[in-house]
Amino acid sequence: MRPLEDVRIVSLEQYGAGPFGSMHLAELGAQIIKIEDPSVDGDVGRTVPPYATDGDSLFFQSFNRDKSSITLDIRTDEGRGVFEDLVREADAVYSNLRGDVPEKLRIRYDDLKDVNPRIVCCSLTGFGMTGPRSKEPGYDYVLQALGGWMSLTGEPGGAPQKTGLSLVDYCGGYVAAISLLSGIHAARRDGIGTDCDLSLYDTAISLLTYPGTWHLTAGYEPARTRQSAHPSLVPFQAFEAADGWLVIGCAKEKFWQRLTEVIGRPDLAADERFKTFADRDRHRAELLPELEGILRTRTVADWLEPLYAASIPCAPINDVAAAMTEPHTVQRDLIASTEHPAFGTVRTLRSAVRVGPPGADRAPTRPAPAMGADTDRILRDLGYTDEAIAELHEAGVLGKG
């Protein structure tokens, strides 16, 4: 058995952040029953271009593997009845909607505790259920701007940049998954469920970590750094070689000592200006041009060999294609393959979350479901007869029959 096979989650999720969080739980065995509103053609992620066809997309496949889909309009009386039947058999109700929507849809703990007193109602919203922005929609790009991230990303003097990936969304998904599992643990222990009021805004602000601490405590003013340099550890940044780029990170003094040997400049280690991290930070304008000039004289591969041999943290700056074929990616079994009627073999990225000994086989995965593919099966499991299901279809509660 996978570790979460006894966990059932009813999910009202959409787009990226919410589905990303629950997909990790699904891969660990949790039953994710994804409710999709038939009146709006389900999860908007199904239509994200450029690879979209017939109510599905490779974007959707990236976030919804191993789940079940039921079409259901919970705003109708009949749909609400089905929803509450699902809640009775579930551990959690999970959503990522605007902060005021859980109250409107009546999916908070106070709304559902009489149906299931152990239910955990986990809401990942843009800004949370409280505060002046609680009714605003929240998207990764907006949160990276508001949370200060874009002021730290990019080259000094250039335009502010977002990170290449939607990291607020994805980290928010991880936050939701951790909170949801914690809530289920407490509910099973105490017999009482709860709300989990989570937000992408909280996620973005909390991830400012030590620059935020430095600013709040010591008045530090964070700023963008040249070539993605660490704000205080020198050298720790991207360097240009003769044929590309690599990262070298001297996160400990011993790595700096070794680097000076690798590049044939042990005199730099003995130079009083460059003795310690603090010294090199003060004199980075003198040191970095020296290092950059040396590193441009050889190829990335020529540098990596002695750097690896000296156990100095380093890496080539791969493109996505190189990252996907990196031997370590293959050895760690990070790519899942599933078959899809429209896209053929779909190769997606597996969860980084693992439970089991090193090298243990991963559980097989299923493609993300077609919209409503599991509706009738799930209702039958709840005890609905074929006649009752047909009536719900006829009423439009489940979408088209």
Q: Is 230 a catalytic residue?
A: yes
Instruction: Give the distance, in angstroms, between the CA of residue 81 and the centroid of all CA atoms in the same chain.
Output: 33
| Amino acid letter for position 306 | P
Q: How far apart are CA 79 and CA 107, in angstroms?
A: 13
Give ∠ CA 71-74-75 in degrees, rounded to 5.
130
Neighbours of 191 (CB within 10 A): 9
As beta bridge partners, residue 9 has 32, 92
Picking from 42, 83, 180, the residue whose alpha carbon sits closest to that of residue 123 is 180
Picking from 387, 369, 385, the residue whose alpha carbon sits closest to that of residue 71 is 369
- The answer to whether the Cα torsion of 108, 109, 110, 113 is positive or negative is positive
Q: How far apart are CA 120 and CA 111, in angstroms?
A: 11
Q: Per the residue annotation, which of 185, 215, 230, 328 is the catalytic one?
A: 230
**109, 195 contact by CB (below 8 A):** yes
DSSP-assigned states of every residue in 22-84: HHHHHHTT-EEEEEE-GGGTS-GGGG-SSSEETTEEHHHHHH-TT-EEEE--TTSHHHHHHHH
Q: Which two tokens stand for residue 336?
A: 């899942």
Give every CB contact of residue 9 below 8 A, 6+ residues apart in sequence.
22, 25, 30, 31, 32, 33, 90, 91, 92, 93, 94, 180
As beta bridge partners, residue 123 has 95, 197
Picking from 170, 164, 131, 136, the residue whose alpha carbon sits closest to that of residue 150 is 164
Would you name the residues annotated as active-site residues? 230
